Structure 1
Amino acid sequence: MKLLYWLDEWLTLSRDEQQARLPMRGDDLLDDVFVKYDFVDLDKPLLFTFSPAGTNVQEQDLHSDFAPWGYKLGKKQNVNIISFQHLGKSNWFRSRNLIFFLEQLSPLLEPFNQRLGYGLSRGGFAVGAFANLLKLDQVLLFHPVSTKNKQIATWDDRSSTDIAQQFDWQGDYHDLDLGHAKGYIIYDPTNHIDRMHAKRYQQLTHLRVFGMGHGTHATYLNKFGFYKQVAVDFIGNQQIEIAQFRQQTKTLRFKEDYYKRLNRANKNSAHRLGLLSKAHNIVIGEKEEHVQEHQAQIDIQPLIDVALKYQDKHPEDAIELLKVAQQLAPDDPLVEHKLKQLE
């Protein structure tokens, strides 16, 4: 626990001396959790990230340049960051060694005036469970999980809940405890279990994205930079511009692949497929109107230039770019000609 010893000594210095000791970075292994940290500026926020399910790193995967989930994002935003990466597939940050570390860590971070937390699903649980302990001011959570305590979340019948029962869900930090933290929780209200978990985060601003699912579309949403852009806004401004967020989700709905994936995910529900079809038809009309409204302002030449540059090495990517250009300018003869050539 090198960080604890360093912080303990660092706290005895004046603020100017503390700033002069930065940057300071390092990592540590706490039982089944890897932690990596980077302190750069006392006047910048301190961001905590906890890894979600699906980032199933093993101890043998760790190396000197390994970056836990969210670490690189924090570095790029030039904030102070402490990232926690769970090791193994079933790991809910319940290790006593980790909890002891966090209890010792929190009071040593007194010089940092603004503390943020960011997590998806399992990582969001950890942010919510440790928020009060870590004195977080703002949090951003996707795909909420408030606890795996079956006596509290009686309606959470996911298989992950049964698997998680190998851990202690009666002891400290087994349930959400936000303290004074404010912030945002983003989820799909059509996902019953996510909706029930989200209801328990009453002090957060709820942002709903229909069709987002829980994990099913994570890779897809990430492909279009959805998570990253929202997180960047949150980290940089400690808030999300709601109007811009709505525009992001609207743009997402304009993508045909979005509905194809939703249809596959809901193939066993005729009711939901009917609703999706109705929503899709409405969006097609919105999309045509949106394109016509902005067409005169759109310059597709940069898209064409990039597509032509990479058409030989990466023809599939060039085709995708040209298809986007064609959506923006359906009557452009050059785009139509190049698409026919490449396809």
Structure 2
Amino acid sequence: MKLLYWLDEWLTLSRTEQQTKLPMSGSDLLGDVFVKYDFVDVNKPLLFTFSPAGTNWQEQDLHANFAPWGYRLAQKQNVNIIAFQHLGKSNWFRNRNLIFFLEQLSTLLTPFNCRLGYGLSRGGFAVGAFTNLLKLDQVLLFHPVSSKNKKLVPWDDRSSTDIAQQFDWQKDYHDVDLGNAKGYIIYDPTNRIDRMHAKRYPQLTHLRVFGMGHGTHATYLNKFGFYKQVAVDFIRHQQIDIAQFRLQTKTLRFKEDYYKKLNKANANSTHRLALLSTAHNILIDEKHAHMQEQKDKIDVQPLIDIAITHQHEHPNDAIKLLEVAQQLAPEDPLIDHKLKQLK
């Protein structure tokens, strides 16, 4: 646990001296969790990330350039990062070595005035469970699992819940504990279990994305950079522009491929396919209205002016310009008149 020894000595220095010791990076193995850290500036945020399910690396996969989930993203934003990567498929960050490390680490973070947490699903559970311990100020959670303690979440009947019972869900850090932290939780309200877990984070700002799902379709959102852009805004500004977020999710829903993926992911559920079909039809009408609204905002007069100016020298080009203008403004009588003249 090299980081703990280094921090312990680093804390004895003045703030100016602490800054001169940076950058500092390294890694360690904490039982079945790999941790990698990079400290660049004592005056910048310190970000904690915990890996989600699906990133099932093994110890033999680790190498000098291995980067845990979220590590590269933090580096690109030039903030301090401590990233935790679970090893193995069924791993809920319950290893005693990890917990001991975090308990010791929590006493050595006083130089960092801004501490952030970011996690998806299983990683969201870990962020929520350790937030109060690490005294995080702001967190960003995507469809997190609040706990796998069946007494607390008896309605979570996913297969992962039964598998997770191999771990102790009675001892410390087995449930969400946000302390005084604020932040955001993003999830699909049509997903019953995600919705129930989200209710256990009342102090966070809830941002709902219909059709986002959990797992298959959530991974698909990476194609459009959905997670990355939201995370970047959060890391840079410690807040999310909610108006921009709404616009981004609306634009995403206009993509036909989005519904194809959702239909494929729900192929075995007649009920969900019916709901998706209804939602898709509503969005088709909404998309048409949106496109018409954008067309109404387009000023076609410059196209008309150019066409009229060159109608004698280049009549065919003038016709093509007017035809484009007519597509954008089909009700404009001047365009129709000029086309009839030229043809």
Amino acid at match of 2:42: L
TM-score (norm 1): 0.85
Corresponding position of 2:211: 211
Corresponding position of 1:313: none
> How big is the shift at 1:331?
6.9
Kindly indicate whether residue 156 of structure 2 is the aligned counterpart of residue 156 of structure 1.
yes
Map residues 1-343 of structure 1 onto 2, 5 A cutoff. Answer: 1-294=1-294
TM-score (norm 2): 0.85
> How big is the shift at 1:155?
0.6
Amino acid at match of 1:230: V
State the alpha-carbon separation in 2 of the partners of residues 280 and 2 from structure 1. Answer: 53
Residues 331 and 46 of structure 1, relative CA distance in 2, 3 Å threshold: same
Q: What residue ranges of structure 1 are gaps of 5+ in the alignment?
A: 299-328, 333-343
State the alpha-carbon separation in 2 of the partners of residues 266 and 53 from structure 1. Answer: 20
Contact 2:51-2:68 at 8 Å conserved across structures: yes
Q: Deviations over 1:75-126 (max 9, x none)?
A: 0111100000000000000010000000000111100000000000000000
Residues 290 and 171 of structure 1, relative CA distance in 2, 3 Å threshold: same
Q: Deviations over 1:169-206 (max 9, x none)?
A: 01110111101111011111111111111111111111
Corresponding position of 1:337: none
State the alpha-carbon separation in 2 of the partners of residues 104 and 178 from structure 1. Answer: 18
Q: What residue ranges of structure 2 are gaps of 5+ in the alignment?
A: 300-324, 329-343
| Secondary structure at the counterpart of residue 186 of structure 1 | strand
State the alpha-carbon separation in 1 of the partners of residues 254 and 80 from structure 2. Answer: 36
State the alpha-carbon separation in 1 of the partners of residues 41 and 140 from structure 2. Answer: 22
Alignment length (residue pairs): 302
Query: RMSD over aligned Cα, in angstroms?
Result: 1.8
State percent identity of aligned pairs: 83
Contact 2:11-2:18 at 8 Å conserved across structures: yes
| Secondary structure at the counterpart of residue 228 of structure 1 | helix
Q: Deviations over 1:36-59 (max 9, x none)?
A: 000111111100000000000000
Q: Deviations over 1:116-152 (max 9, x none)?
A: 0000000000000000000000000011200001111
Amino acid at match of 2:21: R
| Secondary structure at the counterpart of residue 38 of structure 2 | strand
State the alpha-carbon separation in 1 of the partners of residues 235 and 113 from structure 2. Answer: 14
Amino acid at match of 1:279: A
> How big is the shift at 1:269?
3.9
> How big is the shift at 1:263?
2.1
Residues 192 and 66 of structure 1, relative CA distance in 2, 3 Å threshold: same
Query: Radius of gyration: which is bigger?
Result: 2
> How big is the shift at 1:330?
12
Corresponding position of 2:303: none
| Secondary structure at the counterpart of residue 4 of structure 1 | helix
Contact 2:189-2:209 at 8 Å conserved across structures: yes
Amino acid at match of 2:48: F
Contact 2:233-2:240 at 8 Å conserved across structures: yes
| Secondary structure at the counterpart of residue 247 of structure 1 | helix
| Secondary structure at the counterpart of residue 132 of structure 1 | helix
Amino acid at match of 2:153: A
State the alpha-carbon separation in 1 of the partners of residues 212 and 249 from structure 2. Answer: 10
Q: Deviations over 1:49-70 (max 9, x none)?
A: 0000000000010000000000
> How big is the shift at 1:260?
1.5
